[in-house]
Structure 1
């Protein structure tokens, strides 16, 4: 029985370690992804939009393509898509640009964040499982009918407390990281929204 509990204890520790690594990996990926697709600040985006508007004022769509094509951030790619499809009508174009932003940028970020959310929920539950297992081991020791092994009992209780602490120690930093990432995503959405409004105004000016 003690051997079985030892194996199960090691499994709980292993699962908690894997959850911690996977959660951290997903957080890093999402953080990097958001950083790759957004402008650093509004001033940086304004500089890009000024160049874009100048090219559109002169109906120089080649310059627009050259400006946007190699820039993998969200707004330049959306701008390139909008310019290349400018003849389908503004209402339809706005809808398609919004759909493209959702599919190409937000869906990938949300997919990774959903995994972080899964780790946040799972880690305390696995910790609680370890707590229950530790207490089961301690009570099994008490009910054995033999002389109580106080060392083993203390080890079981220690395991119960450690797994609870580890589950919370994994979940809490991920909760804070997710909150920070969501703020970055909201700022990115605001910047892209402002940028696309200016782009559509420039496209109307170019077509006038």
Structure 2
């Protein structure tokens, strides 16, 4: 029984380490993805839109495509798609652009965030498993011998408390990081929504069906 609990203890520590690394990696990837996708602020976006509106006003589509092509942020890529597919018509194009934003940008971010959520839920549960196993080991020593070695029993209780603390130490920072990322995502969505509104106002007069 003691050997089994020892192996389970190692297993719990390994699993906690793996999910901690995976959760941290996903948080970093989502943070980078959001940073690469959005403009720093509305002024930065307005500057880009001002240049784009000038090219669209003169129907210089090649210049508009060149302006957007090298910019990997969400709005320039959506604008590039809109200009290249302008023959679709206003209503259909607007729907396609919205779908593309959800598929190409938000789906990837939400996928990564779902993994962070899984880590947040599973880390305390794995820690609780370690707690249960540690207490089982302590009670096994307590009930299996008339003279209990307090040092050995304390090790089992210590293991139980450490795994609980590790599970919480993984989950709590990830909860705070996820809250911060969600704020950044909402700001990005607001900026992209404002930008797309201006883009389609510029395209309204030149697209068929508008």
Q: TM-score, normalised by structure 1?
A: 0.97
Q: Structure 1, residues 109-136: CA drift from partner, whole Å, max 9, x if none?
A: 0000000000000000000000000000
Contact 1:58 1:206 in 2 (8 A): no
- Show structure 1 runs of 5+ residues with no match: none
| Corresponding position of 1:68 | 68
CA distance, structure 2, for counterparts of residue 195 and residue 124 of structure 1: 41
| Corresponding position of 2:80 | 80
CA distance, structure 2, for counterparts of residue 151 and residue 178 of structure 1: 41
| Corresponding position of 1:121 | 121
Q: Structure 1, residues 39-75: CA drift from partner, whole Å, max 9, x if none?
A: 1111100000000000001100010010001111100
Q: Structure 1, residues 67-89: CA drift from partner, whole Å, max 9, x if none?
A: 00111110000001111112222
* Residue 193 (1) aligns with residue 167 (2): no
- Structure 1 segment 98-137 matched on structure 2, within 5 A: 98-137=98-137
CA distance, structure 1, for counterparts of residue 198 and residue 12 of structure 2: 53
CA distance, structure 1, for counterparts of residue 149 and residue 114 of structure 2: 44
| Corresponding position of 2:204 | 204
* Residue 10 (1) aligns with residue 22 (2): no
3-state SS of the aligned residue for 2:188? helix
Report deviation, 1:16.
Answer: 0.5
CA distance, structure 2, for counterparts of residue 181 and residue 6 of structure 1: 38
* Residue 161 (1) aligns with residue 145 (2): no
3-state SS of the aligned residue for 1:143? helix
Aligned residue pairs total 208
- Structure 1 segment 143-154 matched on structure 2, within 5 A: 143-154=143-154
CA distance, structure 2, for counterparts of residue 40 and residue 64 of structure 1: 21
CA distance, structure 2, for counterparts of residue 187 and residue 88 of structure 1: 29
CA distance, structure 1, for counterparts of residue 81 and residue 141 of structure 2: 68
| Corresponding position of 2:58 | 58
CA distance, structure 2, for counterparts of residue 149 and residue 108 of structure 1: 54
Contact 1:124 1:168 in 2 (8 A): yes
CA distance, structure 2, for counterparts of residue 26 and residue 201 of structure 1: 37
- Show structure 2 runs of 5+ residues with no match: none
